[in-house]
Every structure is written in C-alpha cells, then in structure tokens.
Amino acid sequence: MPIYKRSLFSWVFKTSVPLQLLLLLLILGVVFLRVLPLEIQKRIINDVLAVGDVSQLLVYCLIFLLAVVFSSLLKLSVNGVQTVIGQRALTDMRRELYQHILRLPLSFFRKTPTGTVVASLVTELSASANFVGAAIAVPLSNILTLVAIGAY
C-alpha cells in the first residue's frame, strides 16, 4: 500500500512488536508501583500508628520511598522505549516517503517547490513519529492506572 494511503496506526506494530511488549511490561510495573504507596499509607495508619511501633514505621517509609523511586525510574524507561519506537517509525516513514518521492514524475518537481518536498521529509513526519511512539503507551498506562486504583 502506498505510504500516503496508510493509517498512522499501521506504523505502531510494523517494526516494534518486541518493544511494544517491553513497553507493556514496564507500564505494568509503573502501575503496580503507583498503587503500592497507597497500600503502604493504609498500613502505616492502621498498623503502625495504632500500635506505635517506630521500627515498623521506618520499614514502611523505606518501602514507600523505594516504590516512588523505582516508579520514576520505570517511567523514565517507558519514555525511553517510546522514543525508540517513535524514532524507528520515523526512520521507516522517511525511507518510504523518500522512495515514493523518487518514483514521482518529473512534472511534479517542476510544479512543486523544493522546500515543500524537503519539509515533508524533515519536519512534517516528526509529529507522526511522536504519535506512533505514544499510541500504545499513553492510553494503556492511563487505563491500567485507573483500573488499578479503582480496584484498590
């Protein structure tokens, strides 16, 4: 199918299925680590403050802190994988668009300014690549977070 007739969603799984699966695993870890502090807060109030056990409070505070730190690290990893997916898609889009441009008749280049052709290769595909990188991660992350916090 020609590049100009393809949906943006066709690029999401084209070259990055293993990365999308890695992204799914990272998102599951982020969601778990977002819910864990809620449970720790509940235990601090119900278990520690009721009994007055300071050593248990320190353990829960350490777990809480580690959950927040690891959640941030996993979120950073999610952003990195999204970027890699987007850049791979951008490379593929540019390659196919370039191949398409090479097949255009000479009359197209006589009528179309050179800057328009270059702009389509350089700038106009960037937003599409950002979409491809975030197409799975953002909705999935938001929905899983909503379900996890709602279930909790």
CA distance 126 to 152: 38
- The pTM of the full predicted model, rounded to 2 decimals, is 0.80
Residue 150's alpha-carbon distances to 31, 45, 67, in angstroms, are: 12, 20, 19
What's the chain's average pLDDT? 86
CA distance 119 to 138: 28
Q: Which of 139, 123, 150 is nearest to 78 (CA)?
A: 139
Tens digit of pLDDT for each residue in 73-83? 999 999 999 99
Residue 16's alpha-carbon distances to 3, 42, 50, 53, in angstroms, are: 18, 40, 51, 50
Helices (H) and strands (E) in the chain, counts: 7, 0
Regions of the chain short of the pLDDT cut 70: 1-4, 15
Tens digit of pLDDT for each residue in 41-71? 988 888 888 787 788 889 999 999 999 999 9
Residues near 107 by beta carbon (within 8 Å), at least 6 away in sequence: none
